[in-house]
Amino acid sequence: MRTSAFSTTSAKIFASVVLVGGAAGVAGLGTFGSFTSTTSASESVTSGQLVLGLTQHSTLGTTVSATGLVPGDTIQRAVTLTRSAGTESFGSVKLTTTAGSSNVLTTDTIKGLQLTVDQCSVGWTQVGSTNQLTCSGTTTNIIASRAVIGANLDLGAATTSLNSGASASNLRLQMVLPSAADNTFQNLSNSVTFTFDATQRTADFR
């Protein structure tokens, strides 16, 4: 009987040890570490810029006044537009002309001053001592004859040239007082300002 009682007690103690050991094992599952890995990447970003430059013909730039006009006379002036190296290409280049005062020289769209814009593949050359400009390369008409005052006149061929390797556009600004101008145009003066605006290229994926 004693032996039987001892065996029973031993069995209970063993069972208790096993249970306690099992509980400790379960609790320990929450304290183990886990494997991790981290990596990162950086991207450098810089914004571009647009730089449109303008230089004038040494003797026949737009700062040269034209005086004593009579019907049929022509005024020719030359400017060169440039795009600075390292800047973004242009989406468009447009011309806006404004008058310094209000009179028929610029307000009369038929008899008043008429504007034509041409581009030369090389620089424009003055003919002798005259106020005439000639192109020894290829001439491209950019704006056909029209009233001198206008807004956002597209200079498509100039944009193409500015975006090319040359990054320059040689322009001749020509104004003509039509033969139809009558006596109301006598003894008048005015000024025309030429403003060139460049816009960015079309946005793309970078």
Interval 67-115: pLDDT, tens: 999 999 999 999 999 998 888 999 999 999 999 999 999 999 999 999 9
Q: Which residue intervals of 77-135 are DSSP H helices?
A: 104-107
Q: Pick 1 or 174 by higher pLDDT.
A: 174
**Which tokens sit at 188?**
């008048």
pLDDT of 21 over the 60 cut: no
- Computed over every residue of the chain, the mean pLDDT equals 86
So what's the pLDDT on residue 7?
42
Residue 194: strand, helix, or coil? strand
145-186: pLDDT as tens digits: 999 999 999 999 999 999 998 899 999 999 999 999 999 999
Q: How confident is the model at residue 50 (pLDDT cuts 50, 70, 90)?
A: confident
Parallel, antiparallel or unpaired: strands 192-200 and 90-99:
antiparallel
- Return the ∠ at Cα 81 (arms to 79 and 156), rounded to 5°: 105
pLDDT of 12 over the 80 cut: no
Q: Pick 22 or 104 by higher pLDDT.
A: 104
Q: Which amino acid makes up residue 192?
A: V
pTM: 0.79
Contact call for residues 197 and 107 (beta carbons, < 8 A): no
Average pLDDT over residues 112-127: 97
